[in-house]
Amino acid sequence: MRIDVENLRVSYGEVTAIEGLSLALDGGKIYGLLGRNGAGKTSLLSVLAGFRRQSGGSALADGRPIFENTATTREISLIRDAGETIDLGTVEDALYFAEDLRPRWDAAYAKELIDLFELDPKKNVKTMSKGQRSAVGVVVGLASRAPLTMFDESYLGMDAPSRQAFYDALLADFMAHPRTMILSTHLIEEVSALFEEVVIIDRGRLVVHSPADELVSMGTSVTGPTEQVESFTRDLTVLGTKKLGPTSSAMVYGRLDHAEARRAGLETGPIAMQELFIHLTGGPAS
């Protein structure tokens, strides 16, 4: 499913969560949606899911307005954190409800996922642990096979093996049934390998929309004797420097001539997406 957002504004009374945001997603990919606390990720996803009407601008899915358009919103699934989406009866009830709502529901796959996450179908969702409720959300989100599937920090409370099981299942199911997936997360290092494209928002505005590999290629570590590192990086954007005795390692943002660095006796290497994210969203939290 294709997404076109144009000059979007989302306000809550006096608070403006999204302002002047335009974004075009071709679809059929896994997108990472990144932003610091309060950046507007949930607000954007809520509009894309039709949970909330935008205050200004437009949001289209496959060229059609989303809000109050049931034919379109049936094809869109947004799973919020810790199973917030599912608050009725047992796990089985939640699955029946989802099956009724979702035209592409795969009941056999849902059952497989219930077994994978070792969930008790007869258990009341409200009495489950936070991680188990998140897992129910993940099952509903994946088995819906919605052409636009969004997970908004849907792993909250899930332990590391369960989160890994979620990422593996998501990737396998995406390969078998390609669709548009948007994952909003703060666990950048853990999830970034899944992203084909990355969208970073900050204070309600778009900062970056780029293929993940291009974004990562914008960051380089330059390591060598401190003096050479300093002289080589003098006119470059340096995100941070680490010193160990006479050696320094600088994190540089922007295109860089690796051969020239090597000629200067320096080593270059990749830096993590998280470092770039921290830089692009205003540096470490004070």
Ligand X SMILES: Nc1ncnc2c1ncn2[C@@H]1O[C@H](COP(=O)(O)OP(=O)(O)OP(=O)(O)O)[C@@H](O)[C@H]1O
Which residues form the interface with ligand X (CB under 6 A)? 12, 15, 17, 35, 37-43
Closest separation in Å from C-beta 245 to ligand X: 39
Nearer to ligand X, 39 or 79 (CB): 39
Nearer to ligand X, 43 or 132 (CB): 43
Closest separation in Å from C-beta 152 to ligand X: 7
Closest separation in Å from C-beta 192 to ligand X: 16
Are the beta carbons of 55 and 14 closer than 8 angstroms? Answer: no
Residues with Cβ within 8 Å of 97's Cβ and at least 6 positions away in sequence, in order, are 86, 88
Closest separation in Å from C-beta 108 to ligand X: 33
Nearer to ligand X, 22 or 241 (CB): 22
Q: Which of 138, 164, 174 is nearest to 153 (CA)?
A: 138
Nearer to ligand X, 63 or 284 (CB): 284
Question: Six-digit token pair at 275?
Answer: 């470092």
Q: Which of 206, 236, 232 is nearest to 219 (CA)?
A: 236
φ, ψ of residue 44 to 5 degrees: the values are -65, -45
Nearer to ligand X, 51 or 167 (CB): 51
In the DSSP assignment, the letter for residue 77 is E
Closest separation in Å from C-beta 103 to ligand X: 28
Closest separation in Å from C-beta 201 to ligand X: 7
Are the beta carbons of 48 and 181 closer than 8 angstroms? Answer: no
Nearer to ligand X, 43 or 248 (CB): 43
The separation between the first and the last C-alpha atoms of the chain, rounded to the nearest angstrom, is: 39
- Separation between Cα atoms, residue 160 and residue 172, nearest integer Å: 18
Q: Which of 10, 19, 152 is nearest to 76 (CA)?
A: 152
Closest separation in Å from C-beta 243 to ligand X: 33
Nearer to ligand X, 35 or 219 (CB): 35
Residue type, 156: L
Question: Six-digit token pair at 10?
Answer: 């989302």
